[in-house]
Structure 1
């Protein structure tokens, strides 16, 4: 599944370094876009905030918790604002040329983010810091509304975050909402991937040894199910384990996260490379 590096543990450090090197050197090819924008969306409790924290941790080489995430399952999404996170490099005032927008989780009832707000985010109309109202989408009078977004304001890759352990029980209404967003992104030419989280909670073998993610039949079944649910090719689905209880960096977790990140920024870069802003 996907393009995960199927590697023996003895070479994990070299694989990790091989993934980090192109990410550290990466620059968008389109000069109009200095920073690629990646949008994380999905159901409540899928681990969107933890995905960003895991990316940040893998790049920094230490555990970070910049995006606040719930420690236990909850019926309410912890993220209520559209918050965009820049990813800092080691050197002072230096950032990676990509960022992540983390938004409130979608809900089967009227308690999650409004679908129309996500569509406006895709088009670059919503500024970071906007507080979501699940019953009322943003209006063009809102101070956080960008009336005339340019290419750099738009989303360059859409990342659905789905939990492997509960994907088979996802609410049909959430699937419909996510499919609507996916269709809008498709019409805009925005590349799409799935990050499948909580693999350790889905397969006991993987829980005992994360390296068995590469051979687990159960994980393969979950990847196929994610593909069927959202219509995204298996090659664009990345099973990962987020940093959650860990107090130190783990090479296997890093490899899964960095492999997904490498492909996401490449897809986003392909999206903007040939676009010319008409504004």
Structure 2
């Protein structure tokens, strides 16, 4: 090959010039990307296209909305708030102040749970990028048929999000012998399983296992579970009966021990073309709204516990 198939970070001139020609605007700096793109209602870590214009992209020349896009938002930001750089900074400040009201707990430990390919590892890379202020990859992400993560991995943010610990492990698969089972999750949440423990569906951990922690400390337990769900799966209601049964079992068991739970919908830009064109269309998208309805019914959680990536 006469030219490299992957460009280095230093060679960004072509990308920036393309952005300028398409949008008519000056491209964002690396710091702006890392801090969050203020035109969008999510944190953008890298811009590969100029911003969309909801006035022209989502609405026709006659002013009528195209099919699939609501005229009013079905979810709003905080009262009197708009998505600005100042509001993004306020949200980050609130996150940095988050803590557990227990002197024995110094960091909030969050467990990611989801099926294979839902986007757990990709989300973890996004968190690392926000924390470090640059594009980062701390775990392999990919659409494999089986789980890419087998060991329990604990990520320790060191900068902007250093008050959190995020744990990633193998996926929750449809079949009984595949992925995490209910006992695995409960042992994990209660702190009995140490970081780097390698899960094996054929040989499950129990109280007799040498790795088992019989009396975990409070700061070794999980304080919140995040269910990661592919929005294209939820939007098409393409969820198997086996997965529904596993989710119901997990929800019942976690609710019984009073563990906070939320849902993270991934790939909403793949689900909806309007969101792909401009992320500000998220709360007007009928497809995203339907995916949220499926998620809140599936996990038996209120709508305000369903978030997006």
- Report the TM-score when normalising by structure 2: 0.70
Unaligned runs of 5+ in 1: 241-279
Please provide the CA RMSD for this pair: 2.0
C-alpha contact (below 8 Å) 1:37/1:154 kept by paired residues = yes
Matching residue of 2:284: 215
More helix by share: 1
| Matches of 1:2 and 1:150, distance apart in 2 | 39
CA shift digits 1:149-207 (9 cap, x unpaired): 23222111011000000121122212211221121111111111000111011111111
Q: How many residues align?
A: 232
Correspondence for 1:199 among 265, 268, 277? 268
Q: Which runs of 5+ in 2 are unaligned?
A: 1-73
Equivalent pair of 1:139/1:145 in contact (CA under 8 Å): yes
- Aligned partner of 1:177 in structure 2 is 246
Q: Supply the distance in 1 between the matched residues of 2:196 and 2:75 (Cα, whole angstroms).
A: 33
Structure 1 moving runs of 4+ over 4 Å: 1-8
Greater relative CO, 1 or 2 (CA 8 Å, sep 6+): 1
Q: Does 1:106 align with 2:172?
A: yes
Matches within 5 A, 1:71-150: 73-89=143-159, 96-109=162-175, 110-150=177-217
Residue 3 to residue 131, structure 1, CA distance change in 2 (3 Å): farther
| TM-score normalised to structure 1 length | 0.77
Instruction: Give the equivalent residue in structure 2 for 1:18.
Output: 90
- Name the SS of the counterpart of 2:157 in structure 1: strand
Q: C-alpha offsets along residues 27-75 of structure 1, whole Å, 9 cap, x if unaligned?
A: 43311111111110011100011112112222332211112211xx221
Q: Does 2:114 match 1:47?
A: no
Instruction: Flag the structure with larger Rg.
Output: 2
